[in-house]
Amino acid sequence: MDQDIAYCFNPYCLYPETAADHQRCHNCGFDLTIKQQYQARSLIASGRFGRTFLGKDLYQQRPCVIKQFFPQREEGILLNSRKAIQLFHSEAKRLKQLGDHPQIPQLYDHIEQESYHYIIQEWIDGENLARELSRRGAFSERDLRKLLSSLLPVLQYIHDRRVIHRDIKPHNIICRNSDPEFVLVDFGAAKLASLSELGKTGTIIGSPGYAAPEQVYGKATFASDLYSLGVTCLHLLTEVSPFELYNPLDNQLQWRDYYCQDLPVSDSLAAILDGMTAFDLQERYTSAEAVLSALGVLSSLPASPSPQSPDANQTSLVMKVYSGKGAIYSLDVSPNGDLLASGGGADWGKFIGKDNCVRLWQVGDWQYHRKLMRHAAPIVKVVFSRDGERLISGSRDKTVKVWNIKSRHLQQTLKGHRFEISTLQLSPCEDILLSGSVGGEILLWNLQTGRVLDRLSLESGTINALAITPDGEYFAVASDDSTVQLWEVYGFKPLFSLKGHTDAVTSLAFSPDGKYLASGSGDWDCSLKIWELSTQTLQQTLREHQWAINAVQFSPDGKYLATASSDKTVKVVEILKDKPVKCCWSRYHGPVNTVAFSPDGTFLASGGDDETLRIWRWQQSVSSYRTGDASPILIPKSEETTP
């Protein structure tokens, strides 16, 4: 900053630069200071309604930004001065209202002098992102995640105070030199939003290309700021103007056609950007907090289990990963706890931009994942082998696929089902697999040969769930006839049925020691029942959900049951207790389809129709549980020999 030159505030001065030690402009005689304290040193920008200067606070001896408002005249007519003055005063009010947030310029003063209005605010030492983009080129995923992680809390801060910025773009975001944080500037278009005003049509304000569709029609919402920030990210990622990204035929931003292939973007970030820039408000993120959750900008997972009992008040969401590529129907954690597999998709798959694939997530590092894409329909079940070397997936395309985890290659495809596969389970013996279909058939597979060893057809309708005992000798079947059937694995011999549900049985799970079986039922019953297998008796009935229980799983120590329901909740309950510990989470926007505990019990994963994978912190002692310690259940075996 030049300390010897002052800049004249008279917009019509022909020679505005004057020696800084003068009181008035040597050319026009205009006062060179505002309130005898603030002096302009250079012109930053000029527009139809005002100018922006880099100035100096002579009292505090600090740099500042001076915004001067003056409506220009054309042919003697004042250009919309009333609205412009209103916006100018609005910026001062918004800056004052937002207080001292470190990523919003501080308001120093708001002054009227000689028929001109001035806002004096903090000078941010740094470059705006438009200049950064011009200087360094396209931003990487790491850069964008850093930007979003820094600015989204700022948006949440202003939205909590009912303020909509309405003009987020690269020019209004400054990368500060003193620290790694980004600063949001220019609140001239900001609006105080009340509940009654959000639905009304107002003045069209914002920068073309960055303004959300509803904002173009004068109906800006808090989600409009998320759209503008998302488009800003797409501009930084592609170096292409939002106007060029827009495809009128598809009515969406086709940014994937432009970004640099040398700077790859993960599916998770791509889905987040799509969710921020969706034209339809119902498909767009509704809050900055929701985007932060999708980014996983929360505390990391604990490295080891805590030796204490669960606390319903402390158990909380660790992070949410938004795939945006189809519902999640199944989850499983690898035996060593390093990988989380998710299976899902959508019926029309690629036709509607969804992936029918298995995703392998690295536990603790959720930014990236690998996709296994060879299924032609949604994946309904994924299961790791006990040694963690293979993953088995079942799909509505009527096939079972076996994947090599280390190479991520497909080892074999099992074909034999006549109907869509609905569920499958891998025996602890590793070479035996059970799979069920919507046509009521159950197939017994030899994974070594890929051959069907036996086939069972039931008249009870869809096989909703299968569960195999920890010793691999027996399996349970859940179907539409409201009963749970127990069978021998080898020989497919029926043992007994458990009756008590009044609707279809939709989910099953054996306890780690094989002593108990948990079953969940459909919408009309929606009960959770716990059976003791040695006596074939019902031990407990829990009614924790309002709709169907789509999945159940025991915690590794067998003391708790996690459930996923169509009522949009995930619940964990302590079993066989008079006053059980209970936890409930209800942040989903659709049915929850699946839950999976980590082998060490430190977290619980869940997935649902809203295309999100959520990781919940679950602290408990697992010292009593070890893989392979399960004892056989007390069911009399058939005397017939196995095949």
Give me the residue label for tokens 């094989």.
Answer: 514
102: exposed, middle or buried (C-beta count within 10 Å: 0-12, 13-18, 19+)?
A: exposed
Contacts for 533-536 with beta carbons within 8 Å, 24 or more apart?
533/486, 533/633, 533/634, 533/635, 534/633, 534/634, 534/635, 536/496, 536/498
Residues in the chain, how many?
A: 643
Please tell me the distance from the alpha carbon of residue 130 to that of residue 236, in angstroms, as a whole number.
8
Active site residue 167: yes
Residue written as token pair 């060893």: 453
What proportions of the chain, in percent to the nearest 5, are helix, strand and coil?
15, 35, 45
What is the rounded CA–CA span in Å between residue 608 and residue 544?
18
Beta carbons of 517 and 553 less than 8 angstroms apart: no
In terms of Cα–Cα distance, which of 554, 600, 582, 583 is closest to 307? Answer: 600
Pair of tokens at residue 274? 């799509």
**HEC assignment per residue over 63-98:** EEEEEEECCCEECCEECCHHHHHHHHHHHHHHHHHC
Question: Which residues have CB under 8 Å from 449's CB, separation 6+?
Answer: none
CB atoms within 10 A of CB 188: 23
Report the alpha-carbon distance of residue 154 to residue 101 in Å, rounded: 8
**Of residues 342, 494, 329, 325, the one with CA closest to residue 421:** 329
Crossing angle for the helix pair 267-276 and 141-160, to the nearest 10 degrees: 40
> Of 617, 630, 75, which is closest to residue 363 (Cα–Cα)?
617
Report yes or no: 627 and 640 within 8 Å, Cβ to Cβ.
no
> Do the beta carbons of residue 466 and residue 479 sit within 8 Å?
no
Of the residues 100, 143, 167, 480, only one is catalytic, namely 167
Closest to 147 measured CA to CA, from 62, 261, 237: 237
Closest listed residue to residue 433, CA positions, set 452, 417, 416: 452
Q: Are the CB atoms for 401 and 392 separated by under 8 Å?
A: yes
Tokens of 342: 């998710």
Contact 293, 320 (CB under 8 A): yes
Q: Which two tokens stand for residue 442?
A: 């159950």
CA angle 78/83/87 to nearest 5° reads 125
Question: Which of 209, 213, 148 has the alpha carbon at shortest distance from 184?
Answer: 148
In this structure, what token pair is assigned to residue 412?
A: 């074999």
Query: What backbone torsions phi and psi does residue 3 show, to the nearest 5 degrees?
Result: -85, -5
The residues assigned a catalytic role are 167
